[in-house]
Amino acid sequence: MPKYRSNPTVWPNGGYYFLRFVQFLCSIGTIGTLSYFIYALVKAKFGIPYEFIVLYVAALFSLLNIITTTVAKCCGALNPKFALGFDILILIAWSTAFGLLHHAMHGLIFSDCTAGQWGAIDGNGVYVCRLYKATWAFAVAAIVVYLFSVVLDIIVVRRVGSHKYAPANPKSMQQTKPYVPNYTQDTSYGSGGLPSHG
- Residue ranges per structural domain of the chain: 13-161
pLDDT interval class at 165 (50, 70, 90): very low
**Dist. CA 42–CA 44, nearest whole Å:** 5
117 alpha carbon, distance to own chain's centre:
41
Higher pLDDT: 165 or 20? It is 20
**pLDDT at residue 183, rounded to an integer:** 55
pLDDT digits (tens, 9 = 90+) for 86-126: 999 999 999 999 999 888 877 777 777 777 766 655 567 77
- The predicted-structure confidence for 20-62, as pLDDT tens digits, reads as follows 999 999 999 999 999 999 998 888 888 888 999 999 999 999 9
Local confidence band at 188 (pLDDT 50, 70, 90 cut-offs): low
Output the DSSP codes for 8-64: PPSS-HHHHHHHHHHHHHHHHHHHHHHHHHHHHHHHTT-PPPHHHHHHHHHHHHHHH
Rounded to whole angstroms, how far apart are CA atoms 61 and 73? 18
196/159: higher pLDDT? 159
Cβ-contact 109, 133 below 8 angstroms: yes
